[in-house]
């Protein structure tokens, strides 16, 4: 496993970081608790020391699973990344959407990053995770109802108290990052990025490179699409958010699979799966610090970790990019 220092901090993350959204079950059609714990442990055994979670993932369930999985690991050997600013128990703030929990009960999701709310969220996360500090504390989404200064003054206080080591953001524009950065030195911006979703290259990547802010790429496999395991007509389990995504239309699946068929020979030469090849390509892109890769079981977690071992030359990268240009030039 390769490790990278995040931005201008001394926080060292595994370049393949465990993404813990799916193991929370919510919006992924459920998840098996035992398999989820084993996935995290297996990843750690293969060098995946960094885990990214959030309270909203399963309404606390993901954080609890992470806490259980790392219970017997020395705390300074693992990096916990979690978030704040998405509440399901507070009818206040920027209403995001209606959803259902795993029992099918309706819930309202709110973006809210007021000072007192952040302090409470931090305490709740520490309890669920079974730790006394969080390595990287990130705002989950911009909150239009709360000034950025207020939110990050609260995070700064948590840093002073030793409950948080570093501050990060998610889904922030360059201008929003600049405003937050006036209050507390940002370590990172977590944003969606994949071979078929490269919008951040226009503004976010240049800004983060200039300011020495790390980029955590989430959905690098485009929520499974780039594994090559999907075919037209695929039916998702009830409650799986991917059923409504434009990336999973029959047309886009066909287009993606045509591209994946082109890079399959390269994966074969590297003795790698398509998913491993895609993950390694991701972490080699300018500005990208780590790739967040989810896993529902130990086998998937091991496969993700092994992606770090692949050696891609400049010629290999150029070959992949040529096929991307061929199939997604208008994306």
User: Which residues belong to the active site?
Assistant: 57
Cβ-proximal residues to 77 (8 Å cutoff; 6+ apart), any chain: 49
Measured distance CA(6)–CA(316) in Å, rounded: 26
Measured distance CA(189)–CA(206) in Å, rounded: 12
Measured distance CA(154)–CA(159) in Å, rounded: 9
The distance from CA 297 to its chain's CA centroid, rounded to whole angstroms, is 17
Phi, psi of 229 (to 5 degrees): -95, 0
Residue that has been written with the tokens 């920027």 in this structure = 94
Q: Is the dihedral of CA 237, 84, 81, 197 positive or negative?
A: positive
Cβ proximity of 187 and 213 under 8 Å: yes
Query: Which runs of consecutive H residues, i.e. helices, occur in the chain?
Result: 33-45, 61-69, 115-129, 148-160, 174-181, 204-211, 250-269, 274-283, 298-306, 314-328
């Amino acid at each position: 496993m390769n490790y990278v220092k995040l931005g201008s901090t001394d926080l060292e993350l595994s370049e393949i970081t465990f993404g813990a959204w799916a193991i929370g079950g919510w919006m992924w059609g459920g998840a098996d608790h035992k398999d989820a714990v084993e996935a995290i442990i297996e990843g750690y055994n293969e060098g995946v020391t960094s885990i990214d979670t959030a309270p909203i993932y399963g309404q606390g369930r993901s954080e609890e699973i992470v806490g259980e999985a790392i219970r017997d690991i020395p705390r300074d050997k693992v990096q916990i990344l979690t978030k704040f600013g998405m509440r399901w128990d507070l009818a206040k703030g920027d209403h995001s959407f209606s959803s259902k929990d795993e029992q099918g009960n309706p819930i309202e999701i709110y973006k809210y990053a007021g000072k007192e709310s952040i302090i409470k969220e931090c305490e709740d996360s520490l309890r669920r995770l079974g730790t006394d500090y969080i390595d990287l504390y990130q705002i989950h989404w911009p909150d239009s109802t709360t000034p950025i200064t207020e939110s990050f003054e609260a995070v700064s206080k948590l840093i002073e108290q030793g409950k948080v080591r570093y501050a990060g953001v998610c889904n922030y524009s360059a201008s929003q990052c600049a405003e937050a950065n006036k209050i507390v030195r940002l370590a990172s911006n977590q944003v969606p990025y994949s071979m078929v979703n490269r919008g951040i290259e226009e503004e976010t990547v240049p800004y983060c490179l200039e300011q020495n802010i790390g980029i955590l790429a989430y959905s690098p496999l485009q929520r499974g699409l780039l594994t090559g395991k999907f075919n037209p007509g695929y039916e998702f389990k009830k409650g799986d958010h991917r059923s409504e995504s434009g990336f999973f239309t029959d047309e886009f699946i066909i287009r993606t699979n045509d591209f994946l068929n082109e890079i399959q020979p390269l994966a074969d030469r590297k003795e790698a799966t398509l998913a491993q090849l895609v993950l390694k390509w991701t972490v080699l892109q300018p500005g990208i610090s780590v790739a967040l890769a989810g896993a529902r079981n130990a086998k998937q977690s091991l496969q993700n970790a092994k992606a770090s071992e692949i050696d891609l030359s400049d010629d290999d990268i150029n070959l992949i990019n040529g096929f991307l240009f061929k199939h997604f030039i208008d994306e």
